[in-house]
Chains A and B, each alone.
Chain A
Amino acid sequence: MGCYLSTSKKVQKPGYEEPNILASETPFSVCEVEALYELYKKLSNSIIEDGLIHREEFQLALFRNKNKRNLFADRIFDLFDLKRNGVIEFGEFVRSLGIFHPNAALEDKTAFAFRLYDLRQTGYIEREELKEMVLALLHESDLMLSDDMIEAIVDKTFGDADTKGDGRIDQDEWKAFVSKHPSLIKNMTLPYLKDITLAFPSFVVRTEVEDSEV
């Protein structure tokens, strides 16, 4: 790697953010953010060596196949890409993963899931969106169900969740539905994030944490 002459003592990579700042805004500690950076470096240089996570790199990590598209993985990528510039920067990566931390607030997880399922970002989960997602899941699992059966599954869930009966699920209805079925946001928690410093110990060599901060 080249060495830049810079007034600040540290070379800033594109999309890089200070671990201190990220730690203060997320459930992660400074060291955990640095350990996540070790992971980020791997992910963001796996295909295009520019230190940014592209969609193909995300798919490669998730499915071991850079060309495998999946509606839900796409949605996650889009939500991680807060700036909507087609790549996940380090700060976006840490802030979004923070929601998946076991210690993150349930409200944050619930809200994240809502945005995920609100495919067209209308502020509501519409019946058509739910059906589209059910179809995607069945397709992904190679399952062929009759259209009647799929309609029945969607109807039943909509009947339970759309308590106001206006044909769409709003944020409040979603919150109520999740509190009745907490398992719905089980996939919003990644237990691995708890021992991230043990999984990526290389950060101990490169850490920039000043001793005074210790």
Chain B
Amino acid sequence: MENKGKTILMQRYELGRLLGQGNFAKVYHARNLKTGQSVAIKVFNKEMVTRVGMMEQIKREISIMRRLRHPNVVQLYEVMASKTKIYFVMECVKGGELFDKVSRGKLKEDVARKYFQQLIDAVDYCHSKGVFHRDLKPENVLVDENGDLKISDFGLSALLESRKIDGLLHTTCGTPAYVAPEVIKKKGYDGDKADIWSCGIILFVLLAGYLPFNDRNLMEMYRKIAKGDFKCPPWIAADSKKLLRRILDPNPKTRFSITRIMDNSWFRKGYKQIEASKCPPLSNRDGEDFMDIEAAFASPSSESSTMSSSEEYAMKPYYFNAFDLISISSGFDLSGLFERDMISQREEARFITTTPPSMIVSKLEEIAYKDSIFKVMKKNGTVRLEGKKRGRQSQLIIDAEIFEVTSSFHIVEVKKIVGDSMEYWKLWEQDLKPSLNEIVWAWQLIILATLLNYFDPTQIIISSGTCLTLFKQNLKFSLVDGKNDC
């Protein structure tokens, strides 16, 4: 055989050199045979995994990593398995562990700050998805060839759902020197505050070059952790020292939250929040790119009257033909075959209206300018609401595409293009939906509502099948409105 010496996995990946080895797994470099993409493959020995009862943990790690898509979190692409092995195919991070950078000594303040900013961004993101890492330490934090940080190893992570009735997590885990005092005390703890503590330890290590709490005697170390008893070396500047004290506060209640950290002046220095990198250009339904015209329709400045600008611009909605109309049937929506939480990833809604496009646009502008948090762009049949960046919150971009079925009958599709799910959900519930209800004849496919079923267990799951009944009341109202319009 020609390929002798080369190991091919599942006819998809060519296995390369060993990158690292842990208690239960080996990590190899590998290459996707079809795309050429470099990946890291973590190989578990199934027999060992079963013997130590880790199978459930591995399955949980998969479900957790599946939820996470963030530039500072290592992505899990797929999972493979044979009779004796389990393979995690993951994003390949070429730079190595953050641990290696520190083991050569403390970092420059600016470098440490950049890593810390990215770490907090990533941890904040994980928390927003209901995931607590619980084992944050420099060995689990990787740095890629561009010097960007990536969190990995969610083997000990917990989901919000695993909280007990008191709303707290109860499992002690993590690595002693990085573990928060309330975790050690086994009293039940908030996953987010415990992760923040670990971030504080990492920041200390980056700035000092050694651990804040370290003692050969484990009991002595725990005592120090419980009291938050640590000393900063003289080269750590006063403002970062102050921040460290607020993060490494043994009382989780008074410990800084992520919001407070992000508002801190030392943290904010040179802070660049992750850009909405994957935001697609505003394009029409047939895929044509309209970026060039976009500038011409840039949002009106606050001085100009918003109403007039909407009247000046005539929308040119895409014509929705009979097959387009049919294609939106819930009967074609096979996502229902998959588990409920897969559906929850969709954040779009569609409604039918008899309101003319110019009025639909005015309505959207009214929403956008209400708290002047959005600027509005228009292109053919699409209205884009682009959130202005406010502090720590990520940018939100929402597209509303208007389709013409007949001159008196339009369909509007509203979907989130970029942004935090939780924020969109709030905006949808508080502003978008109530305002749009005034012009809606009937809603179709409200899928968005399942979004936060893990966030609020009392949340009613609304799937495509039930949305219409829920909106029946609005429908009656709107029908009357619609008739008045005609």
Task: Report which A residues bind B (CB closer than 8 A).
Answer: 29-32, 34, 39, 43, 61-65, 68, 70-76, 97, 100, 117, 130, 133-134, 136-137, 140-143, 145, 149, 152-154, 156-158, 160-161, 177, 181-187, 190, 192, 195, 197-199, 201-205, 207-211, 213-214
Contact = CB atoms under 8 A, between A and B. Distances in A.
B454 interface: no
A213 B409 CA distance: 57
Contacts of A154: 322
Number of contact residues on B: which range applies?
Answer: 35 or more
A196 B155 CA distance: 20
Interface string B422-445: 000000000000000000011010
The winner among A32, A70, A72, A152 for most chain B CB atoms within 10 A is: A72
Contact of A143 (B11, B326, B352): B352
Contacts of A30: 10
B334 A210 contact: no
B343 to A, nearest CB: 9
Interface in B1-48: 9-12, 46
Q: Which of A32, A137, A198 has the most CB of B within 10 A?
A: A198
B78 interface: yes
A1 B84 CA distance: 23
User: Most A CB atoms within 10 A — which of B9, B329, B333, B406?
Assistant: B329
Contacts, number: 181
Given A31-B10, A187-B327, A192 B338 contact: yes
Contact of A137 (B10, B59, B329, B336): B329
B418 interface: no
Contacts of B286: 181-183
Given A65-B465, A71-B331, A182-B286, A207 B441 contact: no
Interface of B: 9-12, 46, 55, 58-59, 62-63, 65-66, 76-86, 285-287, 321-339, 342, 352, 405-406, 409, 441-442, 444, 463-466, 468, 475
Given A39-B337, A211-B82, A64 B463 contact: yes
Q: Which one of A31, A149, A177, A208 has the greatest number of beta carbons of chain B within 10 Å?
A: A31
18 contacts: A29-B12, A63-B330, A63-B464, A64-B465, A72-B331, A117-B323, A133-B322, A134-B325, A137-B329, A149-B409, A156-B321, A156-B322, A184-B323, A192-B338, A198-B62, A198-B66, A198-B78, A214-B10
Given A70-B329, A100-B334, A137-B325, A153 B406 contact: yes
Nearest to B332: A187
A194 to B, nearest CB: 9
Contact of B81 (A43, A140, A209): A209
B327 A190 contact: no
B336 A63 contact: yes
A204 B79 contact: yes
B336 to A, nearest CB: 4
B382 to A, nearest CB: 13
Given A143-B442, A156-B321, A198-B78, A190 B335 contact: yes
A149 B468 CA distance: 23
Contacts of A186: 327
A176 B374 CA distance: 40
